[in-house]
Structure 1
Amino acid sequence: MLNLAAALKVIAISAVPFLELRVGIPVGILSGFSPGVAVTLGVIGNALQVPLVIFMMYILRNFAQQVPFAARWLARADAAARRHHHWVHRYGWIGLVLFIVVPLPGTGLFSGAALANLMRMPALPTALAMAGGLAVSGVLVGAVATGALTVFDWL
């Protein structure tokens, strides 16, 4: 039986920027959910951010174009995106998935959305790549959390 309060807690924690899957999935496992359910709830919670983040990046870009130094920087980024458009068009979504999956500081959902915005990737492929990256990341975090919790049980 699924504990609704605990499920909503995992979803809510996973939807909080900077906590996201790294905290939500272990909390789900510690709340008694199987790793598969904890990963699913964590990915659902984290995926709630996807449309908001894409929209936020669009708003930030429009605002930045009104600020002179930011507009110059965006013009250079746009020129680079145009030069590499064939690569972005062909492999951009795979690169975005990998960028979101890598668990290093500066990577993840928000940075991936910013990168997609700078590279002028369309919203739908961006959203799908972000969701795919979240799913793969969720499985990896779940595997690490399950292994780490097993070690603590063993001690």
Structure 2
Amino acid sequence: MATAEKTSRRRRTLIGSALAVAAASLVALAALLPAVLQPVPDVSLIDAAQLSGKDKLDLLNGALQQQNAVRAILVQSIVGLAALSGAVPAWRQYVHLKTEAVRREQEKRDEFAPPGLRRRPLDFHPHQKPVAARPAAAG
């Protein structure tokens, strides 16, 4: 097996492992953080307050609803970041395909142009400034 293939396989394994760890961390964060930010009151504290049965249930239900609200915000934020991170490679691919389409169209036009009127090939990225030609050496 070639060295490049081994390196590529190692890189894919490392990236896959890192993604699995990141996904597990995000799931743990979404599951545990709401309990830390909005803890459910301890049963002994509720009993000490001498609340009726309905009031105890309402208090516990309200605390759990707050945890669910925090959890929903966390999950929506994670999904939003995932969508944004997918937009970056999509934009890069769009720019690359657009550049290739312009280059192919230019090549088609140049096939029918007289040799003196043909353009230089597109050798720069459309968002970069073209490199200035070097001056000819004197001598």
Give TM-score, length-normalised by structure 2.
Answer: 0.31
Greater share of helix residues, 1 or 2?
A: 1
* Bigger Rg over Cα: 2
